[in-house]
Amino acid sequence: MVMAMKKKHYYKALTGGQAVAVAMKQINPDVVAAYPITPQTPIIETFAQFVADGKVDTELIDVESEHSAMSAVVGASAAGTRAMTATSSQGLALMAEIVYIASGSRLPIVMAVANRALSAPINIHCDHTDSMFLRDASWIQLYSENAQEAYDNTLIAVRLSEHDDVQLPVMVMQDGFITSHSVQNVLILDDAKAKKFIGPFNSHSPLLDMKKPVTIGPLDLFDYFFEHKYQQAEAMEKSKKVLKQIDSEYYKMTGRKYEFIEKYKTNDADYIIVVLSSTAGTAKVVVDNLRKAKKKVGLIKIRCMRPFPNNEIAKALSGAKEVAVLDRSISFGNYSPVFTEIRSSLYEVKRKPKLYNYIYGLGGRNIGLNDIENVYNDLMKHRNNDKIKYIGLRK
C-alpha cells in the first residue's frame, strides 16, 4: 500500500478487528450472520455494538455454528440482500461445504477472516492454513498487512464482489492476534464518502422477486455443470480488471494505492523475499537496514492470492538472482502453497531466479528481524541447499 494524504479522512486508534467492524458499519449490510471464534470475535463484538446502538440497519443473526452462519448469509444473499460474515480457523473449515455453495451460486458475500492455525493440536494463533485450504473455492482472496489494509480491503471487497462482471464472494484476510488485536492508527473515510464509494446494492438474482423468478442451487448434472464452472473461472479472470479499476478509484479518493502485489525496493534487487500479510511490515524494516549497507535486496508482498497475479509476479521477479518465498502455511507432501504458485508463474520466464521455499510462523511462532535477515544472508551467500527450509524450528 502506497499512501498520499487526502481530505475527508480522520485517524482512529483501532485494532484490525475493530477496523473491519467500522468498515462493515459504513457498508451497512442488510444481514450479518456469525458465530464467535477466536481471534475473529472482536470483529463481530464491535459490529454487534453498532447494531445495539442503532448505528446500522443490519439484521444480526446469532447462529449455533459457522456452518449455519454461512448458510444464513447464503440464504440472505440469494433472497436479494447485501450479506456479510466473519470467521477463523476451524470455523472456516466447518463452513467449507457452504463456502463452495456460495461461490457456485454466484453470491456476492464478503467474509472477514482472522487467520488462525487449524487443529489438531488446538492452537488459537496465526498461520494461513485456514484460508489457504480454500484457495480453489472460487472466492476472491485479499490479504492485509495491517489494520489500515484490512479496513480498505473490506470496502473494496464489497464493490468487487457485487460488480456485474464478477458476482463472486470475497474473503478479506488479516493475521489473527498480530493484526486483529493490535491497535494502530487507521485513516477512516468520512461516512458519506464511504457510502458513495460502496454504492447501493443491486441484486442480480433476487430469489424473492415474483416478477423475475429464478432457481438457485438446483440439480446440475453433466449437461450443464461444466459450463457453470467455466463461467466461474471466467468471472474470476474478469475480476482482475475490475479490481484494478476499483483500486484506481479508491486511490483517487483516498491517496492509498493498492495493487495485486506490492513491490518494495525491487527495481534493482538481486535478492527478493515474497511474503503475505503482517510479516511484510517486519521484512520492510530488514530491507531498509540492508539497503543502508548497500545490499541489493527487495520485497514482494502478495495482496491478492485469488485471482493469482501470475504476470505481475513473473515480471517483478524475472530480474532477480535468488528469491525466497516465505509461507505461513504448509502443504504436507509437497512444497508450500505460495511457493508452488510462484514457481508456476515463473515457468515460462527465460531469466528465472533461483527459488527457495521457507516455512515459518506455524501456530503463531514469532518471526523477527534477525530471522528475515538470515534469509537474505542465505540468498546472498547461496547457503540454502535444502528442499524446504524451516525458520525457527526446533529439531
Give the DSSP letter string of 200-263: ----SS-TT-TTS----S----TTTHHHHHHHHHHHHHHHHHHHHHHHHHHHHHHSEE--SEEE
Q: Residue 209's pLDDT is what?
A: 78
Q: Residue 157's pLDDT is what?
A: 98
Residue 165 and residue 171 in contact, taking contact as beta carbons nearer than 8 Å: no
Q: List b or e across 72-94, with b for residues whose CB sees 16 or more CB atoms inside 10 angstroms.
A: bbbbbbbbbbbbbbbbbbbbbbb
Q: Residue 7's pLDDT is what?
A: 54
**Residues in a beta bridge with 110:** 84, 170
End-to-end CA distance of the chain: give it in Å, rounded.
37
Biggest alpha carbon distance in the chain? 69
- Comparing CA positions, the residue from 54, 50, 4 lying closest to residue 23 is 50
- Comparing CA positions, the residue from 234, 216, 237, 239 lying closest to residue 101 is 216
How, if at all, do strands 59-62 and 9-15 pair? unpaired
Number of CB atoms found within 10 A of residue 57's CB: 9
Q: Residue 248's pLDDT is what?
A: 98
Alpha-carbon distance of 253 to 131, in angstroms, equals 30
Alpha-carbon distance of 22 to 10, in angstroms, equals 13
The DSSP-derived string for 20-76 is HHHHHHHH--SEEEE---TTTHHHHHHHHHHHHTTS---EEEE-SSHHHHHHHHHHH
Given the candidates 3.40.50.920, 3.40.47.10, 3.60.110.10, 3.90.1010.10, the CATH classification of the domain at 261-390 is: 3.40.50.920
Alpha-carbon distance values, 52 to 58, 203, 273 (Å)? 10, 27, 45
Q: Residue 4's pLDDT is what?
A: 52
Alpha-carbon distance of 337 to 244, in angstroms, equals 24
Ranges of CATH 3.40.50.920 domains, the chain: 261-390
Architecture of domain 2-257: 3-Layer(aba) Sandwich (3.40)
| Set of cell numbers at residue 112 | 472477514
If you search the block for the grid coordinates 488462525, which residue do you land on? 116
Ranges of CATH 3.40.50.970 domains, the chain: 2-257
Q: In tens digits, what is the pLDDT along the chain, a chain of 395 residues?
A: 655 544 567 999 999 999 999 999 999 999 999 999 999 999 999 999 999 999 999 999 999 999 999 999 999 999 999 999 999 999 999 999 999 999 999 999 999 999 999 999 999 999 999 999 999 999 999 999 999 999 999 999 999 999 999 999 999 999 999 999 999 999 999 999 999 999 999 877 677 778 888 888 889 999 999 999 999 999 999 999 999 999 999 999 999 999 999 999 999 999 999 999 999 999 999 999 999 999 999 999 999 999 999 999 999 999 999 999 999 999 999 999 999 999 999 999 999 999 999 999 999 999 999 999 999 999 999 887 778 999 999 98
Return the axis-axis angle of helices 89-104 and 66-78, rounded to nearest 10°: 30
If you search the block for the grid coordinates 534493482, which residue do you land on? 268
